[in-house]
Amino acid sequence: MLVRFFFSLLVFTLTSTAFAKEYQLKCTAKHNLDLIFDTEVTLKDTDKNKLLGTYEGFDFILSSLGQDILELQVFNGYEPSRIYSTSKFSKTGDFVEQSVWKRDYLLDVRCTHL
C-alpha cells in the first residue's frame, strides 16, 4: 500500500513537472528612449528570478508567481532599490511593464506574451 502511494506520488510529480506551463515573451528595455535590449524568452510557470538583462547597475528580472501571474522587477544596485510590477497572463498580447523615472534618466521595460 505504501509503495503504491509513493509510486503514485512520483508519477504525479513527474507528469506535473513535464507539463508545467510556459510563457513565450518578447521583452524590451529602453534607457532615455534608446534600446537596451530586445529579446525573446521562455519563462516556465515555476521559474523565479530569471535575469533578462543588466544595464549600468540595473538588473531586469522576471518571475512567475503561479496562477498565470508574472512579476517584472527592476533592481537598482546604486541606490539600492527594487521596483515591482505584476500582471495576469491569460492570452496573447498580455503584458507587464515598468517605468522608472528620475531627473537624469527614464527606464522603460516591457514583456509581452507572444
Asked whether residue 105 is domain-assigned, the answer is: yes
Per-residue pLDDT of the chain (114 residues; tens, 9 = 90+): 655 545 555 555 554 555 689 999 999 999 999 999 999 999 999 999 999 999 999 999 999 999 999 999 999 998 889 999 999 999 999 999 999 998 999 999 999 999
Nearest to 21 by CA among 49, 41, 46, 48: 46
CA–CA dist 46, 50 (Å, integer): 11
Give the pLDDT score at 100.
Answer: 92
Give the pLDDT score at 20.
Answer: 80
Asked whether residue 14 is domain-assigned, the answer is: no
Give the SS3 label for residue 20. coil
Give the pLDDT score at 4.
Answer: 59
Helix, strand, coil proportions of the chain in percent (round to 5)? 15, 60, 25
- Determine the structural domain holding residue 74 and report its residue range: 22-113
pTM for the predicted model, two decimal places: 0.80
Give the pLDDT score at 109.
Answer: 98
Number of neighbours of residue 95 by Cβ within 10 angstroms: 16
Asked whether residue 11 is domain-assigned, the answer is: no
How many domains is the chain built from? Answer: 1
Residue 23: phi, psi to the nearest 5?
Answer: -120, 125
Asked whether residue 10 is domain-assigned, the answer is: no
42: β partners? 24
